[in-house]
Amino acid sequence: MQKINTAVIEVKDLALDGNIIDNGWIENLRYDNGKPNMNAILILSEIYYWYKPTLIRDEATGKAIGYKQKFKADKLQKSYQALGDRFGISKRQAKLACDFLKEKGLIEIEFRTIVVNGKKLNNVMFIQLIPGELKKITGIDRVLVKDDPPVTTECKRVLQQDVGGSYNEMYHPPTTECKTNTKTTHTETTTKTTNKNNIRQIQNLRLRYSENQLKIIDEYFDILRWTRKHGKIADSVILKIYKKWQEYKVSAVMYALSIYINNPKHHDKKENYCYGIMRNAAAEQIANYQYGGGNSNGKHSQDTEKTGPSEESLRLERIAKEKGLVGADGTIKDTECSF
């Protein structure tokens, strides 16, 4: 007989308390690129928890005599903010996840005006779970059948037609082709000339950045796309963003993107937020990020005021002042200069 791992014995008596995630949800609640929408799955598990009734037992006999619901109103009252706080995501991300669940027919959302303790509250959100649709995706064998033609083993890699998939894959076009049961599709970024030109221009603008910097940029766009309703950014908008970055030094661009990426509270803000960081960042802040004042993963140092600027940043600031590159407000002018 196989020896049982001691952890298995210990876990058998472990009582877990919390939400349940069904295997069928992971299989069915996916983005167009095939990746599970974990925000939507987590929020669905929370909604399911509240809608799962509590069993009422007779105190004397212990027999089940009925059920009661966990929430007080006729529907579950939860806001996007409350759902976001529950799982450590932004209000915007929670809304996108709820929109995804609505599109799947799993929930309905209603906004009401209610009165609490004599005070009138507008736009209070209520969520209705749709059990019939939930049953269709619940269970290990509940994978929904899609109408798309099956892809043969000859299809090794297909380029996404929008930024709904991996941003990094989108702008590193593969050269293989994919065959379906109806036709052969070559891995062109798009069939439209305008989109081809946009992709080409984006690829040229990316040459300005190093390999490590491009990893940060790709991560930024993977976050930024969720500031859009459907989690997608048009190529024309991405091109516009790259062109805007041309107005700033690479160091300022990377500083702003790192601040954005490493602070989840900023993830519901659009590209204008990073433009503001690039425009207002002082030479000392950028220098600290480049030369060690900030930590290695690009997070903004919170100890600058306590420890003071580094010798290297002071040297760079002094040179910048001598060359007339620092304005009266302490920000560096947008002028190329060799230090």
CATH code of 65's domain? 1.10.10.10
Looking at residue 150, what is its pLDDT?
44
The answer to whether 307 and 288 have CB atoms below 8 angstroms apart is: no
Which of these ranges, 89-98, 179-188, 193-202, 249-258, has the smallest mean pLDDT?
179-188
Examine residue 55 and state whether it is found in any structural domain, yes or no: yes
Query: Who contacts 28 (Cβ-Cβ below 8 Å, separation ≥6)?
Result: 104, 137, 142, 143, 144
The answer to whether 236 and 205 have CB atoms below 8 angstroms apart is: no
Bridge partner residues of 116 (DSSP): 119
Examine residue 266 and state whether it is found in any structural domain, yes or no: no
Examine residue 53 and state whether it is found in any structural domain, yes or no: yes
Examine residue 59 and state whether it is found in any structural domain, yes or no: yes
Examine residue 25 and state whether it is found in any structural domain, yes or no: yes
Looking at residue 11, what is its pLDDT?
87
Examine residue 191 and state whether it is found in any structural domain, yes or no: no
Which of these ranges, 59-68, 80-89, 128-137, 178-187, has the smallest mean pLDDT?
178-187
Q: Which domain holds residue 51?
A: 17-137
Examine residue 283 and state whether it is found in any structural domain, yes or no: no
Per the structure, the count of domains in the chain is 1
pLDDT band at 197 (very low <50, low <70, confident <90, very high): confident
Direct distance between the N- and C-terminal alpha carbons of the chain, in angstroms, rounded to an integer: 71
Examine residue 237 and state whether it is found in any structural domain, yes or no: no
- C-alpha 241/C-alpha 264 separation (Å) is 21
Tokens of 270: 């659009």
Q: Say what the pTM is.
A: 0.45
Q: Is 233's pLDDT higher than 60?
A: yes
